[in-house]
A and B are shown apart, each in its own frame.
Chain A
Amino acid sequence: MNMLGNILNYQHFPIYAIMVLFLGSFLIAAFGENRAVRNVLALLSITAALGFAVALVKPVLLEGEIISYWMGAREPAGGYAIGIALEVDALSLFFALLVATAVFVSGVYSIQYMNRDHNEKEYYTLYLLLCGGVMGMVLSGDLFNMFIMVEILTFAAVALTAFRNTVRGAVEAAFKYLVVGCMGSTCILVGTAILYAQTHTLNLAQLAQLVPGEVNTATKLAFALLFVGFGTKAFIVPFHPLAADAHGAAPASISVIISGVLTKSGIYGIIRITYFLFQSMGLGTVQFLLVFIGSLSMFVCVTMALAQHDFKRLLAFHSISQIGYVLTAVGLCTALGVSAGLYHAINHTLFKGLLFLAAGAVLHETGTTDLNKLGGLAKKMPHTTVLFLIGAFSISGVPPFNGFASKWMIYQASYQKAVESGNIGFLLVTIIALVTSVLTLASFVKVSHSVFFGQLPPELENVREVSWGMRFAMGIFALLCIITGLFPNLVTAYLTEPAAAAVFSVKPYIEAMGFDGSAAAALEGGSFQCVGAWDPVSWLLVLCIALLAITIVAVAGKYDNVSRCRLSTVEDKYQLFYGGEKQELSQLGGDDLFWGFKHNWRAYFNYMHRLHSGIVNDYALWAVVDLALVTLFSLIVL
């Protein structure tokens, strides 16, 4: 009985959460020939991982305990951490919860989504390997272990990108991702090696104790290497083309993981090195670095998304654009900023997951994701349409969905930072964030028009709604989108504020592992209160009243739906899908909805198009240039 109690002690749960995923992967590789066995094993391991993560919420998130776990009970000897450790504070658990949720929903979706593919056994083996890698990375307390997990997840992600290797560009995307991803991993390893040479430890807590006292040329170089290395995992600029390629080719359930989970692991790594290892976030220059790259990612990726005509590729660029929001908010280094960033990280996982699953549903039924070949699917797939619209509203920040709450907090955080620091640059960040949000909405108008509304092409007459299992998975994400949108107070109080508090408490993080944290930099996050007309419930009421009013007017005024929609030949040029000169009306493809905008900005778009050349050497060069610039920057300012 005592032994059972020992096994079920929550101190062991972090390692269980990692182990069940890897165990599931290996068992499926060994015994997964049978379909039923495979599905049961996969469901069991993702459910168990979710269960272990949720069971840790009470002690870690609510009571603020930091779990330190030495593998094989090899505690530090002589003041040096020899053994491998797991350390779970509120920040780690926050990301672990995100991972577990996304993995669970995407796993449920896969079971029916992948049923037309061969090699399902290999799919689940790699899928669980990928999930285990991310889970291990966010729960690890050891820098080298983080690197190992990063490698595992990169390999699994590359293999899964090329999984449908007959899809156009799948192998090509996988190869580019592998090359640049491995350059990033090499950067992380060199950074780790340099830090080990300087401090003779790999334990994160002990590094956080020793590194800030040893800022010299070598550790500055290590900072740049680690930053760029984790940047490739988060796909922030200049690594965004890889994300676009990988998402477009990978199965939708994998896009959910790459976009919702893998990028978060990169963000997690960046938070760990800037706030914990180097404790350099107090410096305005490091804040500038994060905010600058974040804002650049936001704007560049949203404009790239406007020019896309592939459903999933477009979503991929939006994904990185939203990651830019997260990075910017985290880089503000205020309690409001970090809280807003983490809140947006939750929302990003949820709405991006929902959108990718909806794109996957469209692909599963129609066999294409080309916006010009799709249209009018709302009649054939009504449930998917509604779920997609919830996701689209969420990502565009329409109240009362979840994107609104977190974006509002980000606007407020950057504005307050501008007021407090007197730096006009942060005001520019607010403006970029607002403009990006508008462009996001614009491009989702385009997507919903060209996929779900408009005319149904004749070859899509036989399309049917997707199976209940896929709708169920999308429904979970949609429900979570609405819940996190309607109750931001609960989300901030129970999830993001404990995690944001953990970001600002380096000293307990060091001391939980038994090291001396007295020298840790004391960063003050401060407290915050959201201001302005941001209460989502009142916005929901406004929305309901407006909808009611429109319905009453339409019913009372005998709104004639049919005659409204009939095109008159004279007025063709005023229709949304027509353009060109008066004499030569030409029908526009769904993806050319904003042709005027693109025409006026053609210099910019042509330049960007040339820049994203698709040649792997160019992307590698960007990585090297990025590394050189960040190195130069950190040598000067750190």
Chain B
Amino acid sequence: MILLNYIAAFFLIGLGMYAIVTKYNLVKTVIGLSIADYGVNLLLISIGFNPGGTAPIFTWSELDYNSFFVDPVPQALTLTSIVIGACVTAMSLALVIKLEEQYGTIDTRQIRRLRG
């Protein structure tokens, strides 16, 4: 059921945003970013899905007009998006470690030297 995928994707994105907005723990903020990212990945992969299609890997001789496969472009996009998501997590966790060293806390309510 592809509709369920779309609902789940937007639910995950919403859940991620909810975590970022409401959670005061920096690690939970990072988890929120990751969850939103998973939602986007699910959305991307669902867009390219054709029910009953095979993997889009063919040699020239195999490929004809009856070949029925899923759209390969969103899969490429998803791979890129996964890599970027990993970068986001790595970098934000590195920053969290630095913040903990400097501020002695990972509570966002106490990390606000820059304001006003």
Chain A residues within 8 Å of B, Cβ to Cβ: 82, 144, 148, 151, 155, 158-159, 162, 165, 168-169, 171-176, 178-179, 182-183, 185-186, 189-190, 192-193, 196-197, 200, 202, 244-245, 248-249, 307-308, 313, 608-609, 612-617, 620-621, 624
B28 vs chain A, min Cβ distance (A):
10
A61 vs chain B, min Cβ distance (A):
33
The CA-CA distance from A244 to B99 in the complex, in Å, is: 19
B87: which A residues are within 8 A, CB to CB? Answer: 151, 155
In the complex, the answer to whether B95 meets A196 with C-beta atoms within 8 Å is: no
The CA-CA distance from A165 to B116 in the complex, in Å, is: 21
A624: which B residues are within 8 A, CB to CB? Answer: 17, 21
B96 vs chain A, min Cβ distance (A):
7
In the complex, the answer to whether B114 meets A179 with C-beta atoms within 8 Å is: no
The CA-CA distance from A196 to B43 in the complex, in Å, is: 11
Ordered nearest first, which 9 A-B pairs have the shortest CB separation? A614-B115, A614-B112, A197-B47, A169-B114, A171-B98, A609-B116, A175-B95, A620-B20, A245-B114
Report whether over half of chain A's contact residues are helix, strand or loop; otherwise say mixed.
helix
Q: Does B36 contact A (CB under 8 A)?
A: yes
- A interface footprint on B95-116 (CB within 8 Å = 1, 0 otherwise): 1101100110000110111111
Known: A165-B98, A169-B114, A617-B108. A202 touches B17 (CB 8 A): no
Checking A159, A173, A202, A609 against B114 with a beta-carbon cut-off of 8 angstroms, the contacting residue is: A173
Q: Does B44 contact A (CB under 8 A)?
A: yes
A186: which B residues are within 8 A, CB to CB? Answer: 13, 36-37, 40
The CA-CA distance from A614 to B115 in the complex, in Å, is: 4
The CA-CA distance from A179 to B116 in the complex, in Å, is: 19
**Chain A-chain B contacts (Cβ-Cβ < 8 Å), number:** 116
Chain B residues within 8 Å of A, Cβ to Cβ: 13, 17, 20-24, 26, 29, 33, 36-37, 40, 43-44, 47, 71, 73-74, 77, 80-81, 84, 87-88, 91-92, 95-96, 98-99, 102-103, 108-109, 111-116
A608: which B residues are within 8 A, CB to CB? Answer: 116
In the complex, the answer to whether A179 meets B102 with C-beta atoms within 8 Å is: no
In the complex, the answer to whether A155 meets B109 with C-beta atoms within 8 Å is: no
Known: A175-B26, A616-B108. A621 touches B21 (CB 8 A): yes
B54 vs chain A, min Cβ distance (A):
19
A196: which B residues are within 8 A, CB to CB? Answer: 47, 73-74, 77
B90 vs chain A, min Cβ distance (A):
10
Checking A173, A182, A616 against B88 with a beta-carbon cut-off of 8 angstroms, the contacting residue is: A182
The CA-CA distance from A200 to B50 in the complex, in Å, is: 13
In the complex, the answer to whether A615 meets B44 with C-beta atoms within 8 Å is: no
Could you show 22 A-B contacts with beta carbons less than 8 Å apart?
A: A151-B87, A155-B91, A162-B98, A172-B113, A174-B95, A175-B99, A175-B111, A178-B91, A178-B92, A183-B20, A186-B37, A189-B44, A190-B13, A193-B74, A196-B47, A197-B47, A248-B114, A614-B112, A614-B114, A617-B22, A617-B29, A624-B17
B23: which A residues are within 8 A, CB to CB? Answer: 617
A494 vs chain B, min Cβ distance (A):
38
